[in-house]
């Protein structure tokens, strides 16, 4: 099962590169062509969310992305920002959820990213990292 790992500094300028890497790896998998743009957009949103979380908490560690080709094409984007239990929930694609919350710009950006991801990716999970530091956005597409 081929695995590609990619790390980048938490700066918005590097999100485009991460998106291109994900798209290139997805092209190597037997992923249907109509899903390539979905992979590119979803990976960009997940990486943008991770960058926002790192910058909000002043974390300079690399944002990490892992792409795996197996029975599914799986993209995982990991950040190292503190996690609250409300951030680890079932992701709802209901945009009305955003209007009922009052939050700072970074939190709103994170919620918008999760809402977009929920609309793009059928198999989406937002989980706590195994060591308890940070979160992982896991997206999967069948091959």
CATH at residue 117: 3.30.565.10
> Which of 10-14, 28-32, 81-85 is most confident?
10-14
Beta-bridge mates of residue 138: 76, 125
* Res 36: pLDDT: 93
> Sign of the CA dihedral 104, 106, 111, 116?
positive
| pLDDT of res. 33 | 85
The domain tally of the chain equals 1
Q: 114: exposed, middle or buried (C-beta count within 10 Å: 0-12, 13-18, 19+)?
A: buried
Range of the domain at 76: 3-142
Q: Region 20-41: what's the mean pLDDT?
A: 93
Q: For the chain, give the number of residues.
A: 143
106 confidence band (pLDDT: 50, 70, 90): low
Minimum mean pLDDT among 2-11, 91-100, 120-129: which range? 91-100
CA 136, CA 91: separation in Å to the nearest integer? 13
For 141, residues 6+ apart whose C-beta sits below 8 A from its C-beta are 26, 31, 35, 38, 39, 72, 73, 74, 121, 122, 123
pTM: 0.85
- Residue percentage of the chain with pLDDT more than 70: 83
Query: Within its chain, how far is the Cα of 122 from the centroid?
Result: 13
User: Is 46 in contact with 91 (CB distance < 8 Å)?
Assistant: no
Asked whether 92 and 117 are in contact (CB, 8 A), the reply is no
């Amino acid at each position: 099962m081929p695995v590609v790992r990619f790390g980048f500094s938490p700066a918005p300028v590097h999100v485009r590169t991460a998106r291109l890497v994900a798209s290139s790896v997805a092209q190597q998998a037997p992923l249907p062509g109509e899903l390539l743009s979905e992979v590119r957009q979803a990976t960009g949103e997940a990486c943008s969310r991770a960058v926002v979380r790192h910058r909000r908490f002043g974390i300079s560690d690399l944002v990490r992305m892992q792409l795996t080709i197996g029975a599914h094409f799986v993209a995982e984007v990991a950040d190292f920002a503190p996690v609250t239990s409300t951030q680890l929930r079932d992701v709802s694609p209901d945009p009305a959820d955003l209007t009922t919350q009052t939050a700072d710009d970074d939190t709103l950006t994170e919620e918008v990213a999760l809402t977009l991801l929920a609309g793009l990716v059928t198999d989406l999970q937002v989980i706590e990292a195994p060591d308890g530091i940070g979160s992982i956005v896991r997206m999967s597409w069948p091959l």
